[in-house]
């Protein structure tokens, strides 16, 4: 296997997931700022032109971070970061989907269509007027999440640290560097962020 890696929250999710499992594989850095991911060689790996991509041993290129992590979990089940039982896996997938659709997606597009417009307008369809609304949606869903975490849970799946935490952590910390700082009023999320940030894998 080989990871085609770059800057950005999505590749960081895969690196953090691998670090938690102790997976070490070759990596090749693709110059995202320079647009290498939008050129022919990378489009052959991932026709979406996005990062990261995992080349499997049979030469197949797997893109999209959640399926990449699902694949790694099957190949390296220990420690489980999605779940060891059908129930645990289902709970993690529920939270992963909520984080991905409700928080990461509006947050990212809020950035792409706003602060990131100059960079992204040549790469994807951008709707600048949607940026403030998308940021508002992400902020509102984070408030909702904060309320969900008022029950004293350590992680999104209670006592289990999972892919859902990794996904949320990478997006919240990234967004904080590009104009969407975490709201300190979300005290449960703030405490959770510190808990996840203290893990060695957060530096991956």
Ligand X SMILES: N[C@@H](CCC(=O)N[C@@H](CS)C(=O)NCC(=O)O)C(=O)O
Residues of the shown chain interacting with ligand X in the complex, contacts defined by CB under 6 A:
8-10, 32, 37-38, 49-51, 63-65, 123
In the bound state with ligand X, the residue whose beta carbon lies nearer, of 39 and 191, is: 39
Query: 190-195 long-range CB contacts below 8 Å, 24 or more apart?
Result: 192/149, 192/154, 192/155, 192/165, 193/169, 195/154, 195/155
Closest contact distance (angstroms) between CB of 188 and ligand X is 26
Exposure b/e, 95-119, CB count within 10 A at least 16 = b: bbebbbebbbebbbbbbbbbebeee
Put the strands of the sheet holding 27-29 in their side by side order: 27-29, 2-5, 53-55, 61-63
Relative to beta strand 27-29, strand 2-5 is: parallel
Residue 157 or 175 having the CB closest to ligand X: 175
Distance CA 113, CA 109 (A): 6
Q: Could you tell me the smallest distance in angstroms from the CB atom of residue 31 to ligand X?
A: 11
Smallest distance from the beta carbon of 19 to ligand X, in angstroms? 17
CA atoms of 48 and 44, how far apart (whole Å): 9
The CB-of-192 to ligand X minimum distance in angstroms stands at: 22
Closest chain position to ligand X (CB)? 8
CB closer to ligand X out of 9 and 80: 9
31, 6 contact by CB (below 8 A): yes
- CB of 28: closest distance to ligand X in angstroms? 14
| Least CB distance to ligand X at residue 43 (A) | 11
Nearer to ligand X, 68 or 149 (CB): 68
């Amino acid at each position: 296997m080989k990871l085609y890696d770059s800057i950005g929250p999505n590749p960081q999710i895969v690196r953090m997931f691998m670090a938690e499992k102790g997976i070490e594989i070759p990596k090749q850095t693709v110059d995202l700022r320079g647009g290498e991911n939008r050129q022919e060689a990378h489009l052959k790996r991932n026709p979406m032109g996005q990062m990261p991509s995992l080349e499997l041993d049979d030469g197949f290129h797997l893109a999209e971070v959640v399926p990449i992590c699902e694949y790694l979990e099957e190949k390296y089940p220990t420690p489980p970061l999605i779940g060891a039982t059908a129930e645990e896996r289902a709970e993690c997938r529920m939270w992963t989907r909520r984080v991905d659709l409700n928080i990461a997606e509006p947050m990212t597009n809020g950035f792409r269509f706003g602060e990131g417009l100059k960079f992204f307008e040549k790469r994807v369809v951008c709707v600048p007027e949607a940026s403030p609304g998308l940021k508002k949606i992400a902020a509102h869903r984070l408030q909702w999440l904060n309320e969900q975490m008022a029950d004293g849970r350590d992680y999104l799946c209670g006592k289990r640290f999972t892919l859902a935490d990794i996904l949320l952590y990478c997006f919240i910390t990234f967004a904080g560097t590009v104009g969407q700082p975490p709201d300190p009023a979300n005290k449960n999320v703030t405490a959770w962020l510190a808990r996840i940030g203290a893990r060695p894998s957060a530096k991956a």
